[in-house]
Amino acid sequence: METATLTRHRSGTEPERALVSPPPKPRASRLPAAALAGLALLALVGFFVYPTFPNYDSYYSLLWGRELLDGQKPSFDAYRAPTQHPLAVFFGAGLSLVGDGADRLLVGASLASFVVLAAGLYRLGRIAFTPAVGLVAAVLLCTRFDFPFLAARGYVDVAYLAVVVWAAALEAGRPRRGTPVFVLLMLAALMRPEAWLLSGAYFLWMFGGATWRRRGLYAVLTWAGPVIWAGLDYFATGDPMFSLTHTSGLAEELGRQRPVSEVPALSAEYLKELDKLPVFLLGVVGLAVALYAVPRR
């Protein structure tokens, strides 16, 4: 696909030149692959040299997965249990077959997800702008140490981000790609409910140019995440809305409940904590530059 430079297209110029980046030099084209291999090697060495273990939520996913395999209903309603994430529970069920090493394998999978996330972020930046932009984006991700820490503790958020970023990269590479993007968003929707909104928005984007058969398939993939989530809740607790009510109740009990009016300010604050202030401010500037410089395609 054609990639955009940071130059606004002027009327009267050749559109091909405004949209196509110059071909990378051979040495430069090998740099991203070498960087990815280095990151994968670093993650592998870190996994064995500095062993870490999953966080509280992920251990529960292993426990609930084991309960499923044993024919029991997962104990989602245990005292102060975290909110369940269906894909994490199903993955935990598979890992629990290993036995005592399941927790370390979960961390290994999380570290692999981080490498996949970095690769996806590079690809998205390369397609949308230039290889240099993609490389800088991946480097910034790897140097925001909260993200590798989350991976080293087996948080589901890292795998969620990897799936969402790759969905965006596939769509950027070929607009209106359809089914592969829906499948990735469905997987994301089984990890975090925010992806329900992403799937719904993508469904609306794809609805216009699709056949009715395709629309039916897209509708199934869009609804699969929330339906499976509610179905697992109903199976375990008898309440299809259990995750929603349990999360709200637990947040109130722990003093973490916030009104909707505080969401924008809290979101900005969390981004600053994760990315650190200089990168956060550069991100705001970068968003403004992207909106100005990238022509409509």
Cα 109 to Cα 282: distance, rounded to the nearest angstrom: 31
- The string of pLDDT tens digits covering residues 111-161 is 999 999 999 999 999 998 899 999 999 999 999 889 999 999 999 999 999
- Does residue 295 surpass a pLDDT of 80? no
- The string of pLDDT tens digits covering residues 237-247 is 999 999 988 76
Residue 13 binned pLDDT confidence (cut-offs 50, 70, 90)? very low
Q: How confident is the model over 67-86, as a mean pLDDT? A: 92
- The string of pLDDT tens digits covering residues 28-48 is 678 889 999 999 999 999 999
| Percent of all residues in the chain with a pLDDT value above 90, rounded to a whole number | 66
- Does residue 8 surpass a pLDDT of 50? no
H, E, C per residue of the chain: CCCCCCCCCCCCCCHHHHHCCCCCCHHHHHHHHHHHHHHHHHHHHHHHHCCCCCCHHHHHHHHHHHHHHCCCCCCCCCCCCCCCCHHHHHHHHHHHCCCCCHHHHHHHHHHHHHHHHHHHHHHHHHHHCCHHHHHHHHHHHHHCCHHHHHHHCCCHHHHHHHHHHHHHHHHHHCCCCCHHHHHHHHHHHCCCCHHHHHHHHHHHHHHCCCCHHHHHHHHHHHHHHHHHHHHHHHHHHCCCCHHHHHHHHHHHHCCCCCCHHHHHHHHHHHHHHHHCHHHHHHHHHHHHHHHHHCCCC
- The string of pLDDT tens digits covering residues 57-75 is 999 999 999 999 999 999 9
Q: How confident is the model over 84-103, as a mean pLDDT? A: 95
- Does residue 12 surpass a pLDDT of 80? no
- Hunting for tokens 């999953």 — which residue is that? 54
Per the model's pLDDT, the better-predicted residue between 211 and 79 turns out to be 211
pLDDT at residue 155 in the model: 96
Residue 251 binned pLDDT confidence (cut-offs 50, 70, 90)? low
- Does residue 170 surpass a pLDDT of 90? yes
Residue 109 binned pLDDT confidence (cut-offs 50, 70, 90)? very high
- Does residue 4 surpass a pLDDT of 60? no
Q: How confident is the model over 264-276, as a mean pLDDT? A: 79
- Does residue 81 surpass a pLDDT of 50? yes
